[in-house]
Amino acid sequence: MDRTAQVTSSGDGRTLMFAQWGDLSGTPVIALHGTPGCRLSRHPKEDLVRSAGVQLITYDRAGYGGSDRHPGRSVADCVADVAAVADALGVGRFAVMGASGGGPHALAVAALLDDRVTGAICRVGVAPYDALGEAWFAGMDSGNVEEFGWALEGESRLTDELERESARLRQVVATDPSAILDQFDLAPSDKEVLAREDFAEVLRESVLEETRNGVWGWVDDDIAFITPWGFDLSTITVPVQVRYGTSDVLVPPAHGEWIAGAVPGADVRSSGLGHLGDPDADLVESLAWLTADDA
């Protein structure tokens, strides 16, 4: 069995594709990918996951990779799909983490599946648009401002633009994956991460997979972020860690600050780095925090 391309069904009959990494007998942690992304979007050093005693589970959010689209989905709609993946693996309780576009989805799982979630991490996650209004864009690179502007114009405009962007990304990763975010004025720390060959290989795999059936996952993510999320962050009762970088121009630090204030009792960690942080240290620290009370 290919553990990187496993399949199950959602409650409404859609196909969901998922993967397992690290120690398959270890503590289960479900990692929710960014926007765009897919189940192959992961840290390239699987040994770090294995050495933490963690079974890392990733899945293609609806519309990405091998998972069927769920048109009109909200952020909260991912929760039933996460539960279906956990059920397919016989996993009862688990931790969850998500970065960037995966951050809000991790918070949704923490809020709405609290009887099964042991802890959650939201790293460089976007805040709700209706919470910050126009200030949502403050400090955000013009490339992301433009993309969410398309989303505000509607699905048709957003789809046309993301189809062009997807084609461009596929060309970039075929030649130089380190240039994938060259249109953004990134922090030096982000450029250092993108220059790593191990990250380049993951980018090649992920970009080709994430939109293999179209850009629908990306479209639906963007629209979900700027419309009501379908849950209230103030109702979260499980332990949550919020991580963000003060040099992040893709998801500015004000988003992390707002989320940190909205989640009761959040453990807040900030750094002077950009969107990608210090990925090796971040992974080790995150997995240690999520599994600290595991017996």
**Sequence spans of domains, the chain:** 6-290
Does the structure show a pLDDT above 50 at 295? no
Does the structure show a pLDDT above 80 at 293? no
Closest among 48, 47, 62 to 16, alpha carbons compared:
62
Confidence of residue 294 (pLDDT cuts 50, 70, 90): low
Please return the burial class of 92, using the count of CB atoms within 10 Å of its CB with bins 0-12, 13-18 and 19+.
exposed
CA angle at 25 for the pair 21 and 27, rounded to the nearest 5°: 80
Give the pTM: 0.97
CA atoms within 13 A of residue 100's CA, in its CB half-sphere? 19
Query: Which of 1-5, 71-75, 123-127, 255-259 bottoms out in mean pLDDT, i.e. has the lowest?
Result: 1-5
Does the structure show a pLDDT above 80 at 1? no
In 10 A of CB 4, how many CB atoms? 16
Mean pLDDT, to the nearest integer, of 190-202?
97
Predicted local confidence at residue 198, as pLDDT: 97
Question: Which tens digit of pLDDT belongs to each residue from 53-80?
Answer: 999 999 999 999 999 999 999 999 999 9
Does the structure show a pLDDT above 80 at 228? yes
- HEC string for 84-99: HHHHHCCCCCEEEEEE
Task: State the virtual CA torsion across 261, 262, 268, 274 in degrees, nearest 10.
Answer: -90
Question: Which tens digit of pLDDT belongs to each residue from 114-139?
Answer: 999 999 999 999 999 999 988 999 99
- Please tell me the distance from the alpha carbon of residue 181 to that of residue 147, in angstroms, as a whole number: 14
Tokens of 112: 């709405």
Q: For residue 121, report the phi and psi dihedrals to the nearest 5 degrees.
A: -125, 130
Chosen CATH of 6-290 out of 3.60.15.10, 3.40.50.1820, 3.10.20.30, 3.40.640.10? 3.40.50.1820
**Average pLDDT over the chain, rounded to an integer:** 97
Does the structure show a pLDDT above 90 at 92? yes
Predicted local confidence at residue 134, as pLDDT: 82
Mean pLDDT, to the nearest integer, of 41-48?
97
- Please tell me the distance from the alpha carbon of residue 237 to that of residue 295, in angstroms, as a whole number: 21
Percent with pLDDT over 70 in the chain: 99
Mean pLDDT, to the nearest integer, of 14-41?
98
